[in-house]
Amino acid sequence: MKDIKTQLVHGGEPETLIEGAVCMPVFQSATFEYSGEGSYHDVRYIRLNNTPNHTVLHKKLALLERGEAALVLASGMAAISTALLSTLKAGDHLLAQNTLYGGTHGLLTKELKNFGIDYDFIDLDRGESWARYLKPNTKAIYVESISNPLMQVGNLEAVVEFAKNNNLVSLIDNTFTGPYNFCPLPLGFDLSLHSCTKSLNGHSDIVAGAIIGSRKFIDLCAEKAAHLGGSLDPHACFLLHRGIKTLALRMDYQNRLATEIAAFLASHPAVEKVNYPGLKSHPHYDRAQKLFRGCGGVLSFEIKGGVAAATAFTNKVKLSVSAPSLGGVESLVTCPVHTSHAGLSADERQAAGISPGLVRVSLGIEAAEDLKADFNQALDS
Ligand SMILES: *Cc1c(COP(=O)(O)O)cnc(C)c1O
Q: What is the CATH number of the domain that holds 316?
A: 3.90.1150.10
Q: Do residue 325 and residue 225 come from a single domain? A: no
| pTM more than 0.95 | yes
197 Cβ closer than 6 Å to some ligand 1 atom: yes
Q: Do residue 19 and residue 68 come from a single domain? A: yes
101 Cβ closer than 6 Å to some ligand 1 atom: yes
Q: Do residue 173 and residue 32 come from a single domain? A: yes
Q: Do residue 23 and residue 136 come from a single domain? A: yes
Ligand 1 center–CA 82 separation, angstroms = 14
Q: Which of 45, 47, 273, 372 is catalytic?
A: 47
So what's the pLDDT on residue 42? Answer: 85
Closest ligand 1 atom number to CA of residue 80? 10
**Per-residue DSSP letter, 155:** -
Please state the domain count of the chain: 2
So what's the pLDDT on residue 308? Answer: 95
Q: Which of 44, 198, 293, 360 is catalytic?
A: 198
Q: How far apart are the first and last CA of the chain?
A: 52
Verify whether residue 198 is a known catalytic residue. yes
Kindly give the interhelix angle for 368-380 and 247-266, rounded to the nearest 10 degrees.
40
Q: What is the mean pLDDT of each run of 10 residues along the chain (381 residues)?
A: 96 96 97 89 93 98 98 98 98 96 93 96 95 98 96 97 98 98 98 98 98 98 96 98 98 98 98 97 97 98 96 96 95 92 84 91 98 96 74
Q: Do residue 219 and residue 238 come from a single domain? A: yes
So what's the pLDDT on residue 350? Answer: 86
| Domain limit, last residue, from 223, 244, 265 | 244
Q: Do residue 304 and residue 155 come from a single domain? A: no
Residue of minimum CA distance from atom 7 in ligand 1: 76
Closest ligand 1 atom number to CA of residue 325? 1
Q: Do residue 194 and residue 283 come from a single domain? A: no
**Per-residue DSSP letter, 31:** B
Residue of minimum CA distance from atom 2 in ligand 1: 195
- Closest CA relative to residue 177, chosen from 287, 338, 332, 334: 287
Q: What is the CATH number of the domain that holds 16?
A: 3.40.640.10
| Domain limit, last residue, from 244, 262, 286 | 244
77 Cβ closer than 6 Å to some ligand 1 atom: yes
So what's the pLDDT on residue 370? Answer: 98
Q: Do residue 24 and residue 154 come from a single domain? A: yes
Q: Do residue 132 and residue 224 come from a single domain? A: yes
So what's the pLDDT on residue 179? Answer: 98
354 neighbors 338 (Cβ within 8 angstroms): no
53 Cβ closer than 6 Å to some ligand 1 atom: no
Q: Give me the domain span that covers residue 37.
A: 4-244
Kindly give the interhelix angle for 76-87 and 215-228, rounded to the nearest 10 degrees.
110
Q: Which of 101, 142, 253, 276 is catalytic?
A: 101
Q: Do residue 235 and residue 264 come from a single domain? A: no
With 0-12 / 13-18 / 19 or more C-beta atoms within 10 angstroms meaning exposed / middle / buried, residue 127 is middle
Sign, CA dihedral 254-259-263-266, equals positive
Q: Do residue 266 and residue 234 come from a single domain? A: no
Closest ligand 1 atom number to CA of residue 79? 9
So what's the pLDDT on residue 73? Answer: 98
So what's the pLDDT on residue 362? Answer: 98
Q: Is 28 left (phi over 0), alpha (psi -120 to 50) or beta?
A: beta
Residue of minimum CA distance from atom 1 in ligand 1: 195
So what's the pLDDT on residue 65? Answer: 97
| Domain limit, last residue, from 174, 209, 244 | 244
103 Cβ closer than 6 Å to some ligand 1 atom: yes
Q: Do residue 254 and residue 221 come from a single domain? A: no
So what's the pLDDT on residue 352? Answer: 82
174 neighbors 215 (Cβ within 8 angstroms): no
Kindly give the interhelix angle for 52-64 and 234-244, rounded to the nearest 10 degrees.
30
